[in-house]
């Protein structure tokens, strides 16, 4: 299965600032996804990162708050914009081929002060 690397692994940020999280896959993959995992909770899909086009966002998530890029088949970024303490979460990237299970990176642990 693909190896997925995320950077940074953790960060502490000031409210009102923005942070961009990078996700690198060691092979070309058809599909990439971004999830949020709030403290002690399960995973919630933020969006599907589409290569060469705008990401597809789930209900409750908007592009202005979570802009996503996917310039090629191995790389994607998620930006958390204008952060507030409520954005403190683990942000996880995953990748898969169509109709194959998703594999995950180790996540980015974000704390907002």
Partner 1 sequence: GQQLNQSPQSMFIQEGEDVSMNCTSSSIFNTWLWYKQDPGEGPVLLIALYKAGELTSNGRLTAQFGITRKDSFLNISASIPSDVGIYFCAGSLYGGATNKLIFGTGTLLAVQP
CB nearer to partner 1: give 17 or 54: 54
Beta carbon of residue 16, minimum distance to partner 1 (angstroms, whole number): 26
Q: With respect to partner 1, which residue has the nearer C-beta, 1 or 28?
A: 1
The neighbouring-strand residues paired with 89 are: 110
Give the dihedral sign, CA 56/43/104/18: positive
Q: Smallest distance from the beta carbon of 97 to partner 1, in angstroms?
A: 8
**CB closer to partner 1 out of 86 and 98:** 98
CA distance 84 to 61: 15
CB of 101 to partner 1, least distance (A): 5
Closest approach, Cβ 38 to partner 1, in A, equals 11
The first and second tokens of residue 108, run together, are 């980015």
The DSSP H or E segment spanning 103 is strand 103-104
Cα dist from 60 to 4, 24, 57, 87, whole Å: 26, 26, 8, 13
The residues that touch partner 1, with contacts defined as CB under 8 A, are 1, 4, 31, 33, 41-45, 48, 56, 58-60, 92, 94, 96, 98-107, 109
């Amino acid at each position: 299965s693909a190896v997925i690397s995320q950077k940074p692994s953790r960060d502490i940020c000031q409210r009102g600032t923005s942070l961009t999280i990078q996700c690198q896959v060691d092979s070309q993959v058809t599909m990439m996804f971004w999830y949020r995992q709030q403290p002690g909770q399960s995973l919630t899909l933020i969006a599907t990162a589409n290569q060469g086009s705008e990401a597809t966002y789930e209900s409750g998530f908007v592009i202005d708050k979570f802009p996503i890029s996917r310039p090629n088949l191995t790389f994607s970024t998620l930006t958390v914009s204008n952060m507030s303490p409520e954005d403190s979460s683990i942000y996880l990237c995953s990748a898969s081929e169509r109709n194959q299970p998703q594999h995950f990176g180790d996540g980015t642990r974000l704390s907002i002060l």
